[in-house]
A and B are shown apart, each in its own frame.
Chain A
Amino acid sequence: MNTETATSTGSSAASRTRPARAAGVPVPGSESRFRDLVRACVEWQWGRFPYYRTLCARRGLSLSDLKACVADGAYHGLPSVASTAFKLSKGLVEDLNDLSGPGVFQVSSSTSGDPSYVYTSAEEIAAIRARYSETFGFPGVPVGLAFAPSLRILRALSKKARYKRRPAALRMLLGLEGSELGYDETHVTVDVDIVKTLLNRAVGRPACLRKLAAAEVAGIISSAAESGRPISLGGLTLLLRPYLDEFREGEFELGDQGHVAFSGGGYSGAKGTIRGARIDKPAFIARIGAVFGIEPAFWSRNIKDIYSFTETPAQIVGYWDRELNDFLFRPSPDHRVYIVDPETEAPLRAGRGLVKIVAPDSAGRPMSATTCVLQFDAAEILSVAPEGHVTSFSHVSRYAGIEAPGTVGCAFKAAEIAGV
């Protein structure tokens, strides 16, 4: 299957139909269904990935131990694969992905210059995309304005990301495709300038991109407002921010008709090849509220962030919380989140720690060892279920303890090597 086929599975045929729920995603509250899926995935993963067996063996765990963890609902006992292990530079792509069947590599945005490659079945790709249509959407909102590269750009980048003769799809592409499913009308702010690109190509130069002018963005928002149609502004924080600087406070008066849905982080000032200044979240949200006329009273239901990453199918929605001055994330029934001690990986019941996610493949047959993943993001626990998984968390940031501070000089970074 090529990328185009894979990505069109949901985007073209189903583009006018909003899926109610992705196939295989457990019905909320269906603990037994979740447990069955995790068990199936763990067994599958054990059978397919010697890497995972070795990882477990080094912790003295056998398959029956893992099954016991699942049976007890003690999913935190499952050894996790570090999300960074999927990065191309680690050389473990074939250890962590089962390339024996048809599938598509999901590829991260490569902020570090070193993308992750996660092999995924077409069914799971469809499930992830469908889930994005839910997480990005707001009920009753027909217009989406994505501060993001167009599908054309993301598909071209996905095509370039082919690896081991397998097709690839940027995770961001799945997000945008899923998002489009949820809206009647979607606009993007960055696209290819076709005429200039053709001219450039004739002389061997790269493609020319075109960003919507602030006036054009204003036109889309005003048009939706004037026709009484609610609008959702979303996508990448780093692409939205320059527009915020161009608009004045009170430029729009969207009120409760205005919605915002971010994804992909970028608060550190970097996302993919996009670079900008670090984003102060409270000031950023306040500016959004002031520019688009979304009163603070609406922020807790109209402004949200989607926490997700390529190495897990889980997507966790968080709405802005004025008391926390940050997003308040609430995991869904189709995954479990644990905040764990950075050293021991023991689940914490309070405080800050690393994010560990147990998220089964929707069909119970993962093509990558992603059932239980440790992500090097730190988060603060707000509430925990009696079983130990986190029911709400906030203040997500990159975990500082993963790299040496200030490595300079002749030291090398994969990002730079990749760029040479």
Chain B
Amino acid sequence: MSSPANGDARPSDGLPVRIDFDDPYVKAGKTDTAAGVEIRFPLFEAASLPDVLRAVRSRAGDVFSRLSADEIQESMSRLDAYFAATDSPSIRALVDLVHRIDGFSKHDIERFGLGIFAPLVRYERAFAGRFVRRSFATRRPIETAFGHLQRFGANSPFVRRRRADLLCHFASGNVAGYAAILTRIGLPLESGGEGAAQVIKLPSTSAVFPMVYLSKMAELAPLVRETMACGYWKGGDRELEDVLLAESDAVNVLGSEATVRDVAARAGALGRRPVILGHGHKVGAAYVSREFTASPELLDRVLDGLVRDISAFDGAACYCAKNIYVQGDHRSFAERLSSALDRFALTVSPVNPAMKPVGRGLARVFAGSVKVLSSNDAASFVRVADKPEFWFPDETYRYVQVMPAENARAVAAVLAPARHFLQTVVVAVPDGEILDVLGLFGGAGASNIHFPGSAPLLNVYEEPHDGDFDFVKIRYPYRVRFAATNFKRNADWLH
């Protein structure tokens, strides 16, 4: 980005009139208007793509041969620190910009979008990659900086390391902040590690966060920025995508099941078979044990956390809790959860205006139902079921189903048949059961076992994304799966 200041600010709201986002390789552009701001994005074109790929690969080769992994990580830490400083005026302005243009609530952008940066800043650099390596060697949970990591399944002895010179990403636009995780996949973590040139497809021409992130990277980590080309093209453009897929050593796809399947099939048919990192639809879950429903104080803390996990980005994120299993009086829990969700939407994180039609539609559907609790302004919906099941939500929204749970093992049995859709399970269990639920829910297919209120906060260095460490898998396409907790004891979040 030249900078938001490259256009005059509007006196009404201080937003710039026009923003130009630049890319060192992608010269064509497309201008769209969002929230009254003209935004020019880099636009990939099929004709120039071969030249772009040649240039970014060549430059990435130079950069990775000149910079050590330590130097790269050092510059990325500066970038992380910039985005972690949520009190700074520039970050306040960024939050406002993303809020106005993408519609996400300021709370979600700040706490969840930017919330991933502070742990990265604090993270001991020497730990990066260490736990994954150790986890390959044992099936038992190993202690990480923030929690535990466990491997599931046996690796194939035939898996071989391979080069990954070019990694392309089909990014999604349902959350802010993920660009920080995305771009790390191609960077070398440790001394002697290899880096990959990266091509990033923007999900839309209103997804401002990734471009702002890359613009700031150009200032704080300029050489690293030159290892990436980023811009927009219309998804499914065969002329362009076939060239890109044929050239790529690894393809990271975040999107619908259909998109993941389509890209994987097309990439597979091109002969060279890149490694596919497929991140399709996920349906989050939560398990609240009796110890946390019986204590009013603990219950309040659980509800306070859960409303954040449910409401984050209006329930449109892969990690958002949808199926809530409760030991104890699940109906009473559902009523309290519904009230808490309403209060949260009213006072902390309002529904994105673009999502309101979904709420209105659901309100009409459930207007006669006594099984679905909803607020007067359709900000959230809580279904109550009397038998545990794995519920596939029919809409992307602040919309969950609360069910009774016998115990964690029984919940894991309900989750296991839906393993394809599992990712994050929020848990509130006694300290002594945290490792047990890692084993149970990890075995069922979940990959991230988080404490309430932290579902969106993924630590890329010690937690898998959908069971995988992508930065390892692009060069070592292993066959196992991982699950991790992001806490060791309840005191980590109940302080």
What is A's interface to B at a CB cutoff of 8 Å?
Answer: 49-55, 58, 79, 81-82, 84-85, 87, 89-92, 95, 114, 343, 374, 376, 401-414, 416-417, 419-420
Contacts of A410 in B (CB 8 A): 172, 174-175, 254-255, 279-282, 316-318
Asked if B365 contacts A408 (CB within 8 A), the reply is: no
Q: How far is the CB of A311 from chain B (nearest CB, A)?
A: 12
Quick one: given A52-B368, A91-B383, are A412 and B361 in contact (CB under 8 Å)?
Answer: no
A55–B364 alpha-carbon span in the complex (Å): 9
A-B contacts, 26 of them at CB < 8 A, read A50-B368, A52-B368, A54-B368, A55-B367, A81-B368, A82-B365, A82-B367, A84-B361, A85-B364, A85-B365, A89-B392, A90-B365, A90-B394, A376-B361, A401-B360, A403-B361, A408-B256, A409-B254, A410-B281, A410-B317, A411-B281, A412-B393, A413-B256, A417-B257, A419-B257, A420-B257
Q: Which residues of A contact B255 (CB under 8 A)?
A: 408-410
The reply on B125 being an interface residue by CB < 8 A is no
Q: Please provide the 6 A-B residue pairs with the shortest distance between their CB atoms, ordered closest to farther.
A: A409-B172, A410-B318, A55-B368, A89-B394, A409-B174, A51-B368
The residue on A at minimum CB distance from B423 is A410
In the complex, the answer to whether A404 meets B357 with C-beta atoms within 8 Å is yes
- Check: B283 CB closer than 8 A to any chain A CB: yes
Tell me the complex Cα distance, A393–B438, Å: 59
If A416-B281, A417-B281, A417-B392 touch, whether A408 touches B361 (CB-CB below 8 Å) is no
Taking CB atoms, residues of chain B closer than 8 Å to A411 are 174, 256, 281, 316, 396
Give the complex CA separation of A411 and B394 in angstroms. 11
Contacts of B63 in A (CB 8 A): none
The CB with the most chain A CB atoms within 10 A, among B203, B254, B357, B393, is that of B357
Return chain A residues, CB-CB under 8 Å to B367: 54-55, 58, 79, 82
Residues of A within 8 A of B203 (CB): 408-409
Interface string of B249-270 (1 = CB under 8 A from A): 0000011111000000000000
What 0/1 pattern do residues 75 to 100 of B give for CB contact below 8 A with A?
A: 00000000000000000000000000
A84 lies within 8 A of B364 (CB): yes
Query: CA of A81 to CA of B368 in the docked complex: distance in angstroms?
Result: 8
A91 to B279 CA separation, bound complex (whole angstroms): 27
Interface check B126, CB cutoff 8 A: no
Given the complex, which residues of B lie within 8 Å of A403, measured CB to CB? Answer: 357-358, 361
Is A54's CB under 8 angstroms from B369's CB? Answer: yes
Beyond known contacts A410-B281, A416-B281: 15 more, CB 8 A cutoff: A58-B368, A82-B364, A91-B383, A402-B357, A402-B360, A403-B358, A408-B203, A409-B173, A409-B174, A409-B175, A410-B254, A411-B174, A411-B396, A414-B392, A416-B257
Min CB gap B328→A, angstroms: 23
How far in angstroms is the closest Cβ of chain B from A160? 20
In the bound complex, what is the Cα–Cα distance between A359 and B354 (angstroms)?
33
A54 to B368, CA, bound (A): 5
Whole-angstrom distance between the Cβ of A97 and the nearest chain B Cβ: 13
Is B369's CB under 8 angstroms from A406's CB?
no
Q: Give chain B's interface secondary structure class.
A: loop
Residues of A within 8 Å of B257, CB to CB, are 416-417, 419-420
Docked-complex contact A114 and B394, CB < 8 angstroms: yes
Q: How far is the CB of B287 from chain A (nearest CB, A)?
A: 21
Are B258 and A416 interface neighbours, CB within 8 A? yes
Q: Is the CB–CB distance between A408 and B204 below 8 Å?
A: yes
| Residues of A contacting B111 in the complex (Cβ-Cβ under 8 angstroms) | none
Q: For window 278-293 of chain B, which residues contact chain A by CB distance below 8 Å?
A: 279-283
Point out the residues of chain A lying under 8 angstroms from B364, CB to CB.
82, 84-85, 374
Chain B residues with CB under 8 Å of A343's CB are 360
Chain B residue numbers with a CB within 8 Å of A420 are 257, 420
Bound complex: CA of A414 vs CA of B358, how far in Å?
Answer: 14
Please judge, given known A-B contacts A376-B361, A409-B173, A410-B317, whether A54 and B370 are in contact too, CB under 8 Å.
yes
Residue of B nearest to A55 (CB): B368
* Residue B299 at the chain A interface, CB threshold 8 Å: no
Report the bound CA distance from A90 to B369 in whole Å.
11
Residue interface mask B42-63, A partner, CB < 8 A = 1: 0000000000000000000000
B240 lies within 8 A of chain A by Cβ: no
B243 contacts chain A at the CB level, 8 A cutoff: no
Q: Which of B204, B316, B354, B358: most chain A CB closer than 10 A?
A: B316
Q: Identify B174's interface contact among A92, A374, A408, CB under 8 A.
A: A408
* CA gap between A208 and B358 in the complex, in Å: 38
CB-nearest residue of chain A relative to B356?
Answer: A404
- Docked-complex contact A95 and B368, CB < 8 angstroms: yes
Contacts A404-B355, A419-B257, A420-B257; A87 near B394 (Cβ below 8 A):
yes
CA distance A416 to B396 in the complex (A): 13
A54 to B371: give the CA distance in the assembly, Å. Answer: 11
The answer for the CA separation of A311 and B421 in the assembled complex, in Å, is 31
Q: Which residue of A lies closest to B354 (CB)?
A: A404
Q: Of all chain B residues, which has the CB nearest A114?
A: B394
Chain B 374-423 interface residues, beta-carbon cutoff 8 Å to A = 383, 392-394, 396, 420-421
* A96 and chain B: residue at smallest CB distance: B368
Neighbouring B residues of A58 by C-beta, 8 Å: 367-368
Q: What is the bound-complex CA distance between A85 and B352, given in angstroms?
A: 24
Taking CB atoms, residues of chain A closer than 8 Å to B254 are 409-410
Determine whether the beta carbon of A416 is less than 8 Å from that of B368: no
Interface centre among A95, A403, A412 (most CB of B within 10 A): A412
Indicate the member of B254, B257, B279, B282 with the most A CB atoms within 10 Å.
B257
Residue numbers in A under 8 Å from B393 (CB-CB):
412
A53 to B368, CA, bound (A): 7
CB-CB under 8 A from A91, the residues of chain B are 371, 383
A401 to B256, CA, bound (A): 22
Residues of B within 8 A of A409 (CB): 172-175, 203, 254-256, 316-318
